[in-house]
């Protein structure tokens, strides 16, 4: 018997329990968050976490990989089936490293990348000046128009002017459908690669509630948490087949599968996180069931009802609504900053995040807006009827933003309501 003290850490266990209670007792409305199933949580806490397996199934730098090879192959096959591609890399540690891998695969340092500016709905990894994507590469950034819609004319104009080698389509705070074909035309006009980052909308792509970029973009990347309800991680998807190893590869379209695989390892990462790969496989199995399509439809329906109800109550939504899972609300006409609104809603048990709005006159540290969405509430079984109630609560909390006692009472009421909508088990 090993007498090394494998003590339990009650302090951390208690905090994990408290976090589970916080989630269960409130309304998690940050659109990039969701609740994973117990099946996913179980494999995340398994012995798969112990295993090193640098390389890919069948070609590893370590022994003892027979079982993790099977796990990774299952995850790959499910990802290919779900999204209809011929090549999937499931090893990226998360969304940002996955985007980094795509850049590393397709570009040379200093090449030009055209992506949406963070303050208009893009992600940091789409070229923000303080991110790797804006320091290692020559980043130029497009914006939305005044109403918050992607300004495709500006994208085309900037592409002509700057001749990017990569155009990034895909957003973190954009409530409308993306016209992938238009982005493809623009990319083709300057001979650029097109990356579709569908991290936020992949569940809607699976359910058919958002057009798929597969077959249009050269590379499709999605995180596996968010809408997909899996563990933290990412899928990098493309068509084509990897070539024989060790050949020097030109950065051409036909070499993309190999370029991606080599960018992940040896380019950027060491051993894959096998417990995470297993969790991704489980989440993908769930996403392949017909019920997942129902889930995606309901996420979109819930967002529409919530948006309509909020607008009826005088909230100003960027673009005047949503056709995805999320909405961005300009709080200026309600007399609150985004930060103040986030705080007041938080006290009432409604978790959202502050967010810039297009052409925001305020600082990004205390911007004008908030961003919220329906994926996590939908996972808990909430439907249109509940969205009407949620809109009423958001309105009430905003109206009583300075009244802590009122917000505290609201939190109690919301906690009572959530008992009918437990976290998945
Ligand atoms: C569009 C988009 N891409 C990439 C990422 C990065 O993912 P991660 O936080 O897993 O690094 C995010 C995260 O919110 C995102 O919204």
* 192 and 318 share one domain: no
Q: Are 325 and 177 in contact (CB under 8 A)?
A: no
Instruction: Show which of 240, 262, 287 is a domain's final residue.
Output: 287
Task: Give pLDDT, residue 245.
Answer: 62
Task: Give pLDDT, residue 241.
Answer: 84
In a domain, 37, yes or no: no
Cα torsion 392, 342, 408, 311 to 10°: value is: -10
* 57 and 185 share one domain: yes
Whole-number Å distance between alpha carbons of 47 and 69? 15
Task: Give pLDDT, residue 190.
Answer: 98
The residues lining ligand 1, judged by C-beta closer than 6 Å to any ligand atom, are: 32, 94-96, 99, 123, 125, 170-172, 197, 199-200, 223, 232
| CA dihedral over 22, 23, 25, 31, signed as positive or negative | positive
* 280 and 300 share one domain: no
Task: Give pLDDT, residue 278.
Answer: 98
In a domain, 197, yes or no: yes
Supply the residue whose CA is at minimum distance from atom 5 of ligand 1. 95
Which residue from 337, 351, 345, 294 is spatially nearest to 31, judged by alpha carbons?
Answer: 351
* 134 and 282 share one domain: yes
Task: Give pLDDT, residue 1.
Answer: 60
Ligand 1 mean position to 221 CA, how many Å?
10
Instruction: Show which of 287, 306, 341 is a domain's final residue.
Output: 287
Helix, strand, coil shares of the chain as percentages rounded to 5? Answer: 45, 15, 40
Please confirm, yes or no, whether 232 is among the known catalytic residues: yes
Ligand 1 mean position to 225 CA, how many Å?
10
Q: Are 88 and 258 in contact (CB under 8 A)?
A: no
* 279 and 379 share one domain: no
In a domain, 379, yes or no: yes
* 66 and 193 share one domain: yes
Task: Give pLDDT, residue 5.
Answer: 85
Please confirm, yes or no, whether 52 is among the known catalytic residues: yes
* 382 and 278 share one domain: no
In a domain, 157, yes or no: yes
Q: Is the peptide bond before 9 cis (omega within 30 degrees of 0)?
A: no
Please confirm, yes or no, whether 165 is among the known catalytic residues: no
What angle (nearest 5°) sits at the alpha carbon of residue 93, between those of residues 229 and 245? 120
| CA dihedral over 127, 131, 137, 138, signed as positive or negative | positive
Task: Give me the domain span that covers residue 199.
Answer: 42-287
* 47 and 99 share one domain: yes
* 276 and 302 share one domain: no
Q: What is the DSSP string of 308-364?
A: HHHHHTT-EEGGGS-SSSEEEEE-GGGT--HHHHHHHHHHTTEE-EEE--TT-SS-T
In a domain, 304, yes or no: yes
Exposure on the CB side of residue 244, measured as CA atoms within 13 A: 1
Ligand 1 mean position to 413 CA, how many Å?
33
Give the total residue count for the chain. 425
Ligand 1 mean position to 357 CA, how many Å?
18
Task: Give pLDDT, residue 221.
Answer: 98
Supply the residue whose CA is at minimum distance from atom 9 of ligand 1. 95
Atom of ligand 1 nearest to the CA of 126: 3
* 277 and 357 share one domain: no
Q: Name beta bridge partners: 330.
A: 316, 369
Task: Give pLDDT, residue 246.
Answer: 61
In a domain, 398, yes or no: yes
| CATH number for position 343 | 3.90.1150.10
Backbone φ, ψ for residue 348 (5° rounding): -85, -5
Residue 128, classed as helix, strand or coil, is coil
| CATH number for position 242 | 3.40.640.10
* 129 and 233 share one domain: yes
Task: Give pLDDT, residue 242.
Answer: 82
In a domain, 30, yes or no: no
Sequential pLDDT tens for the chain (425 residues): 678 888 999 999 999 999 999 999 999 999 999 999 999 999 999 999 999 999 999 999 999 999 999 999 999 999 999 999 999 999 999 999 999 999 999 999 999 999 999 999 999 999 999 999 999 999 999 999 999 999 999 999 999 999 999 999 999 999 999 999 999 999 999 999 999 999 999 999 999 999 999 999 999 999 999 999 999 999 999 999 887 666 788 999 999 999 999 999 999 999 999 999 999 999 999 999 999 999 999 999 999 999 999 999 999 999 999 999 999 999 999 999 999 999 999 999 999 999 999 999 999 999 999 999 999 999 999 999 999 999 999 999 999 999 999 999 999 999 999 999 999 98
* 256 and 324 share one domain: no
Instruction: Show which of 287, 322, 350 is a domain's final residue.
Output: 287
Phi-psi region of 359 (alpha: psi -120 to 50; beta: other; left: phi over 0): left
Helix axes 338-347, 404-418, angle to 10 degrees: 60
Supply the residue whose CA is at minimum distance from atom 4 of ligand 1. 95
Count of domains for the chain: 2
In a domain, 270, yes or no: yes
Whole-number Å distance between alpha carbons of 92 and 7? 32
Supply the residue whose CA is at minimum distance from atom 10 of ligand 1. 95
């Amino acid at each position: 018997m090993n007498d090394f003290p494998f003590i339990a850490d009650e302090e951390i266990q208690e905090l994990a329990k408290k976090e589970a209670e916080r989630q269960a007792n409130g309304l998690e409305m940050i659109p990039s968050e969701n609740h994973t199933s117990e099946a996913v949580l179980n494999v995340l806490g398994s012995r798969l976490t112990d295993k090193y397996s640098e390389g890919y199934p069948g070609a590893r730098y370590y022994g003892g990989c027979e079982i993790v090879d099977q796990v990774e192959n299952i995850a790959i096959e499910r990802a290919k089936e779900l999204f209809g591609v011929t090549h999937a890399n499931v090893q990226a540690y998360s969304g940002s490293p996955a985007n980094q891998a795509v850049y590393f695969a397709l570009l040379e340092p200093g090449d030009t990348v055209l992506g949406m500016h963070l303050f208009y709905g893009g992600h940091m990894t789409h070229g923000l000046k303080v991110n790797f994507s804006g320091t290692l590469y020559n980043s130029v950034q497009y914006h939305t128009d005044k109403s918050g819609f992607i300004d495709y004319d500006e994208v085309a104009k900037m592409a002509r002017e700057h001749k990017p080698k990569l155009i990034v389509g895909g957003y973190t705070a954009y409530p409308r459908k993306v016209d992938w074909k238009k982005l493809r035309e623009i990319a083709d006009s300057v001979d650029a690669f097109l990356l579709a980052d569908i991290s936020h909308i992949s569940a809607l792509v699976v359910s058919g509630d958002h057009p798929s970029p597969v077959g249009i973009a050269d590379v499709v990347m999605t995180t596996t948490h968010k809408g997909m309800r899996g563990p933290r991680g990412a899928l990098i998807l493309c068509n084509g087949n990897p070539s024989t190893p060790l050949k020097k590869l030109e950065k051409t379209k036909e070499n993309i599968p190999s370029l991606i695989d080599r960018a992940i390892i040896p380019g950027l990462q060491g051993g894959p996180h096998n417990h995470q790969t297993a969790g991704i496989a489980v989440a993908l199995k769930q996403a392949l069931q017909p019920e997942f399509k129902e889930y995606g439809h309901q996420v979109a329906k819930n967002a529409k009802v919530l948006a309509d109800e909020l607008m009826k109550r005088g909230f100003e939504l960027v673009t005047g609504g949503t056709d995805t899972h999320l909405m961005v609300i300009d709080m200026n006409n309600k007399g609150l900053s985004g930060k103040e609104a986030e705080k007041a809603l938080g006290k009432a048990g409604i978790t959202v995040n502050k967010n810039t709005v297009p052409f925001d006159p305020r600082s990004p540290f205390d911007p004008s807006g908030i961003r919220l969405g329906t994926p996590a509430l939908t996972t808990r079984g909430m439907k249109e009827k509940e969205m009407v109630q949620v809109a009423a609560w958001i309105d009430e909390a905003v109206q009583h933003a300075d009244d802590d006692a009122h917000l505290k009472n609201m939190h109690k009421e919301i906690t009572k309501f959530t008992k009918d909508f437990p976290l998945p088990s």
